[in-house]
Amino acid sequence: MNADGPQPTTTIDPMSLSCPVPIPEGARVILGHGSGGQLSGALMREVIAPCLAAASPGGPLNDAAVVDVAGTRLAFTTDSFVVSPLQFPGGDIGELAVNGTVNDLAMMGAQPLAISLAFVIEEGLPLTELARITSSAARAAAAAGTQIVTGDTKVVGRGAADRLFVNTAGIGVVPDGVTLAADAARPGDVVIVSGPIGLHGVAIMSVREGLEFEVEIASDTQPLNALVAAMLAVEPGLRVLRDPTRGGLSSALNEIADASGVGMALDETTIPIPEPVRAACEMLGLDPFHVANEGKLVAVVPAASADAVVAAMRAVPQGEGAARIGEVVAEHPGMVTVRTIVGSERIVDMLVGEQLPRIC
């Protein structure tokens, strides 16, 4: 091996790739850059962050920013939602958008104080659909105990937006003493997931053109702020919370491992994956660890309180099915491994680009 050559900077778990790795097309953005996987990270690191440089505080990327406002720590987050179809088993884009922002605030420990809602609407969208989606957003905000206080509406010509794009932003107060951050995980901590994974991504796939199949799977979109409050009540010293949306469980855990400079060792038999999700993933050759979730969180908690936290989670409807899935280790920093059935360890790596079904 040529020691002078460029050093490899990534590991790839072949099983988390559905197929060969892309050669990123020279100068353009490709769909894979939005998948929440390695390409997304690369886009952020190589293009967006450097360009923002002087205007940005730097530091690890968390689900929301924490801004100090005269002694009060305010969590501030924004997200855009471009899901297609707009309506899917278990919800619609309106609900998804509000829950997504409520959850990003919750991942910093904040209860949502106020949400903004902006639409970019493609000409031709039926008004009844717009009304239905807006009502869903309103219902989701009420369910999370918050309000939509401001917004915007734009209309673009046919073809310029995939029916409807939604952007939400939100603010919330981070309680004193709560210091959740991606770089806070420590060896010995326990990794917990709040419930079964893979539901949202498979629900979306079940309606999407070309990959239709009848599945009794609904998106798991839901607000998690009540769950987080219950967890913090038991353990205010929680280390990290993250919601594994695009890129799935593996992206969330890898990002934490990398930011914290620690490794993680998971036990595959403890990771809750519903049977139909497993079946759908088997059929398409997808890895459930890469499939998006919308109403789940992963938590890194001090070992001493892990069992108490899981119990507190299970006592709340949003945390039904919460389970310990592994631990943080000092070995292989930045890498997440999982034990196989023959006792070997394999690397759980991040999605690279888009998840593609395979025949091989």
Partner 1 sequence: MKYLDEYRDPVLARAILDEIHRITTRPWTLMEVCGGQTHTIVKQGIDEALPQGVRMIHGPGCPVCVTPLEQVDKALAIAARPDVIFTSYGDMLRVPGTSTDLLALKARGADVRIVYSPLDALKIAVDNPDREVVFFAVGFETTAPANAMAVAEAARRDIDNFSVLVSHVLVPPAMTALLDSPTNQVQGFLAAGHVCAVMGWTEYEPIASTYHVPIVVTGFEPLDLLEGILMAIRQLEEGRAEVENQYARAVKREGTPLAQRQIMEVFEIGDRTWRGVGPIPDSGYRLRAEYARFDAEQRFDVGTIHTLEHPACIAGAILTGAKVPLDCTAYGTLCTPQKPLGAPMVSSEGTCAAFYSAARGLDARKVSLR
Partner 2 sequence: MCLGIPGKVIEVRDDAALLMGKVDFGGVRKEVCLAYTPEVRLGDYVIVHVGFAISRVDEEEALKTLEILEQMGGLVTTELATMGPGMDRPAALSDDGSPATFGSASAPAGAATSAAGGPS
Contact between 128 and partner 1 per CB under 8 A: no
Which two structure tokens, joined as six digits, stand for 206? 């079940």
Give the angle 235-78-31 at the CA atoms, nearest 5°. Answer: 110
Site string for partner 2, 298-337 (x = CB under 8 A): -------------------------x--------------
Distance of CA 248 to the CA centre of its chain: 6
C-beta of 31 vs 308, nearer to partner 1: 31
Residue from 103, 167, 206, 254 in contact with partner 1 (CB under 8 A): 254
Please name the residues in contact with 224: beta carbons below 8 A apart, sequence gap of 6 or more: 102, 103, 106, 194, 243, 295, 296, 297, 318
C-beta of 30 vs 284, nearer to partner 2: 284
Site string for partner 2, 204-233 (x = CB under 8 A): ---------xxxx-----------------
Picked from partner 1, partner 2, none, the partner binding residue 214 (CB below 5 to 8 A depending on kind) is partner 2
Measured between alpha carbons, how far is 328 from 345 in angstroms, rounded to an integer?
A: 15
Contact between 270 and partner 1 per CB under 8 A: no
Residue from 279, 303, 316, 323 in contact with partner 1 (CB under 8 A): 279
Instruction: Give how far Cα 9 sits from Cα of 35, 72, 332, Å.
Output: 20, 39, 14
Picked from partner 2, partner 1, none, the partner binding residue 156 (CB below 5 to 8 A depending on kind) is none
Nearest-approach distance from CB 260 to partner 1, in angstroms: 12
Nearest-approach distance from CB 30 to partner 1, in angstroms: 4
Q: Are 288 and 248 in contact (CB under 8 A)?
A: yes
Contacts 24+ apart (CB under 8 A), 161-164: 161/120, 161/121, 161/122, 162/82, 162/84, 162/122, 163/84, 163/86, 163/121, 163/122, 163/125, 164/86, 164/93, 164/119, 164/120, 164/121, 164/122, 164/125, 164/129, 164/130, 164/133
Nearest-approach distance from CB 85 to partner 1, in angstroms: 17
Contact between 314 and partner 1 per CB under 8 A: no
Measured distance between the N- and C-terminal CA atoms of the chain, rounded to whole angstroms:
30
Nearest-approach distance from CB 208 to partner 2, in angstroms: 14
Torsion over CA: 181, 328, 274, 212 (sign): positive
Measured between alpha carbons, how far is 198 from 188 in angstroms, rounded to an integer?
A: 27
Contact between 272 and partner 1 per CB under 8 A: no
Picked from partner 2, partner 1, none, the partner binding residue 151 (CB below 5 to 8 A depending on kind) is none
Distance of CA 146 to the CA centre of its chain: 21
Which two structure tokens, joined as six digits, stand for 125? 């969208």
With contacts defined by CB under 8 A, name the span among 3-11, 109-117, 159-167, 278-286 that binds partner 2.
Answer: 278-286
Instruction: Give how far Cα 130 sits from Cα of 90, 123, 223, 309, Å.
Output: 18, 12, 22, 40
Contact between 139 and partner 1 per CB under 8 A: no
C-beta of 133 vs 325, nearer to partner 2: 325
Contact between 273 and partner 2 per CB under 8 A: yes
Picked from partner 1, partner 2, none, the partner binding residue 237 (CB below 5 to 8 A depending on kind) is none
Instruction: Name the strand (E) or helix (H) holding 108.
Output: none
Contact between 282 and partner 2 per CB under 8 A: yes
Q: Name 191's bridge partners.
A: 300, 326
With contacts defined by CB under 8 A, name the span among 51-59, 162-170, 223-231, 340-348 that binds partner 1.
Answer: 340-348
With contacts defined by CB under 8 A, name the span among 112-120, 151-159, 266-274, 299-307 that binds partner 2.
Answer: 266-274
Measured between alpha carbons, how far is 311 from 183 in angstroms, rounded to an integer?
A: 25
Residue from 54, 55, 70, 342 in contact with partner 2 (CB under 8 A): 342
Catalog residues that contact partner 1 under the rule CB under 8 A: 1-2, 5-15, 17-25, 28-32, 38, 41-42, 45, 210-211, 254, 257-258, 275, 278-279, 282, 284-285, 332-335, 340-347, 349-350, 352-354, 356-360
